[in-house]
Structures are given as C-alpha cells and as structure tokens.
Amino acid sequence: MKTMRIGELKRKFSQVLDCVKKGEKIVISYGKRKENIAVIVPYAEYQAMNTIRLGVLLGKASYKFSDSFEMTPEELLPE
C-alpha cells in the first residue's frame, strides 16, 4: 500500500487513478504530522467491503428490520 501526501496526490492524480485501476490501494496523509486520513481503493473492493452476507445461513434463515430500526454496519457487525 502506497502513502501519499495531499500535494503529491493533486500533482499525480491521473497516475494515482491508473494505479487504483490496477488494484493498488493509496493511503492519503495530511498535515505536518502526516496523519493518515483516507484510503483510495478500487471500486470493486469497496463494494465487496460493504456487502453483508448471511454466510452459512444463506437459504436457511432470513431477516427483516422494522422501518424505525437504526444501526450502522459497524454496530451490527463489530470487528
């Protein structure tokens, strides 16, 4: 995984997109302390990360949430 500062990202944006198309992840750092603030990942990988599957219960169980249910994916599936 490659790390870039904001200024470098701005200068090399087209090159960064080419790298991401090839499957590379890019970490973006910011400020004097070079704090990591974001990661650019290929879209297909992003979609896969946001898919919640029933896994072994697929086809054997179901679920339904009421319209008033509020929970983030992180709260539902903590690491």
What's 67's domain CATH number?
3.40.1620.10
At residue 12 the predicted structure's pLDDT band, cuts being 50, 70 and 90, is: very high
Range of the domain at 44: 2-76
Other residues' Cβ atoms within 10 Å of the Cβ of residue 4: 17
How do residues 29-44 score in pLDDT, each as one tens digit?
A: 999 999 999 999 999 9
Q: Which of 7-16, 28-37, 45-54, 70-79 has the lowest mean pLDDT?
A: 45-54
CA dist 24 and 30 (Å) reads 20
pTM (2 d.p.): 0.59
Task: Give the pLDDT of residue 63.
Answer: 77
Number of domains in the chain: 1
> Computed from CA positions of residues 10, 14, 18, 21, in that sequence, does the dihedral angle turn out positive or negative?
positive
